[in-house]
Amino acid sequence: MKQQLRVFHDDEDELIRGYADAALSAFESWTNRILIDPAQALPDPPGNAIALSKSIQQGALLLIGHWYANRETVAVGVSAVELPMATHALWKPHRWVNL
């Protein structure tokens, strides 16, 4: 994470860890999934459980980077755009829908 953010000190480790926890929680909420460590076996039946994958991690890194760079809800003097669109593109294929 720190490499993605280009952070080369330990002063904000707790802040960055908080962003990481929030990003993975956002994934679970947005996709209606339960993340499982890839080293663990998925439950049987897996239901909406999913192993943490590269695309999930990359989406989280992009979201963490967005939060790290934009620490407030409103940015004055900049054009309004939805920056984490790439996160949704990476996460959308993993959405779980109960029919």
**CATH number of the domain within which 32 lies:** 1.10.3230.30
pTM for this structure?
0.81
In a domain? residue 85: yes
Number of compact structural domains in the chain = 1
In a domain? residue 64: yes
DSSP, collapsed to helix, strand or coil, labels residue 70 as: coil
In a domain? residue 50: yes
pLDDT tens-place values along the chain, 99 residues long: 899 999 999 999 999 999 999 999 999 999 999 999 999 999 999 999 999 999 999 999 999 998 998 887 776 666 555 555 788 889 999 999 877
d(CA 66, CA 60): 10
State which residues form the domain around 40.
2-94
d(CA 99, CA 71): 37
d(CA 24, CA 21): 5
In a domain? residue 99: no
